[in-house]
Amino acid sequence: MTKIITTKAVRLKYGDSEALHGIDLDFEAKQLTTLIGPSGCGKSTFLRCLNRMNDDIPNVHVSGDIKFEGHDIYTNKTDLVALRKEVGMVFQQPTPFPFSVFDNVAFGLRLAGIKDQALIEERVIESLKQAAIWNETKDVLDRSAQSFSGGQQQRICIARALAVRPKIVLLDEPTSALDPISSAEVERTLIQLKRQYTFIMVTHNLQQASRISDQTAFFMNGDLIESGATEKMFIKPKQQMTNDYLNGRFG
């Protein structure tokens, strides 16, 4: 297996308050890894480190080492637009832009300077198919993306993230704002795609983590408690704290 992201001794401070206390965690390519742990333990904070989304928050200080395909992503020379093209992101609330389905999915391609209409069209269709939202949108590509249901909007956002052909997609609780049926649709989509892309997903839903992820990392109070193959961790965790969390004793 290939490690696509490696992190060492990652510390993050919001002002004077340290939210991550030294995280060492590597991610395998073409696997789905879930980050789990109680509210406030640093899952979203850590996820945002991986494509430098925390840079947009004032007074954030990150130290340690984060490499994407062997290259340090925290250098002065790192091209953030290029990084975020390779490491895309999907948020908890579906965030389609207030324009058509087609233009939403084409957005990243146009931003990347692609002008070839035929190529854009091909990519949009392919991405909508990959995100399992093609059947519901193919006859209404010019309808506002915001007029779709929550689950449909989230799949449109996944299509938008996939359109630029990222290597990694970060997902922060992508199904927690959705009803069970939409949530199951998004899960199915991720399962179908996970051999093609690397997914790193935060979830509070332990059943979901055990259903769809290959690897799991358990965070607590800004520390990584343990990580490894999902099945192993759920059956026989190494740490007592993980065992207690998985059995609903806190969190």
Closest to Mg ion by CB, 46 or 68: 46
Stretch that binds ligand ATP, among 32-40, 68-76, 124-132, 186-194 (CB under 6 A): 32-40
Residue 168 interacts with ligand ATP (CB under 6 A): yes or no: no
* Residues 1-20 contacting ligand ATP, CB under 6 A: 14, 19
Tokens 């389609």 found at: 96
Restricted to residues 129-148, the positions that interact with ligand ATP (CB under 6 A) are: none
User: Could you say whether residue 57 binds ligand ATP (CB under 6 A)?
Assistant: yes
- Residues 167 and 164: their CA atoms lie apart, in Å, by 9
With CB under 5 to 8 Å by kind, the binding choice for 14 among ligand ATP, Mg ion, none is ligand ATP
Nearest Cα to 183, choosing from 153, 139, 159?
153
Comparing CB distances to Mg ion, the nearer of 32 and 101 is 32
- Which residue in the set 45, 137, 198, 213 belongs to the binding site for ligand ATP (CB under 6 A)? 45
91 binds ligand ATP (CB under 6 A): no
d(CA 12, CA 129): 38
Does residue 206 come out as left (phi exceeding 0), alpha (psi in the -120 to 50 range) or beta? alpha
Q: Taking CB within 5 to 8 Å according to partner kind, which of ligand ATP, Mg ion, none is near residue 229?
A: none
Size of the site for ligand ATP (CB under 6 A): 11
**Smaller CB separation from Mg ion, 48 or 155:** 48
Site for Mg ion in 35-54 (CB under 5 A): 44
Among 1, 3, 40, 247, binds ligand ATP (CB under 6 A): 40
Helices within 112-248 (DSSP H only): 117-130, 134-137, 150-163, 180-193, 206-212, 230-235, 240-246
The label of the residue with tokens 């607590």 reads: 220
How far is Cα 52 from Cα 78, in angstroms, rounded to an integer?
10
- Residue 43 or residue 194: which is nearer to ligand ATP going by CB? 43
Phi/psi class of residue 228: alpha, beta or left (left: φ > 0; alpha: ψ in -120 to 50)? left
The answer to whether 90 and 193 have CB atoms below 8 angstroms apart is no
Give 37 or 108: the residue with its C-beta nearer to Mg ion: 37
**Buried/exposed 145-158: b ≥16 CB within 10 Å, e otherwise:** bbebebbbbbbbbb
Q: Are strands 60-68 and 3-14 parallel, antiparallel or unpaired?
A: antiparallel
The entry of Mg ion, ligand ATP, none near residue 19 (CB within 5 to 8 angstroms by kind) is ligand ATP
Of 42 and 88, CB closest to ligand ATP: 42
Whichever of 90 and 131 has its CB closer to ligand ATP, that residue is 90
**What residues line the site for ligand ATP (CB under 6 A)?**
14, 19, 37, 39-45, 57
**What residues line the site for Mg ion (CB under 5 A)?**
44
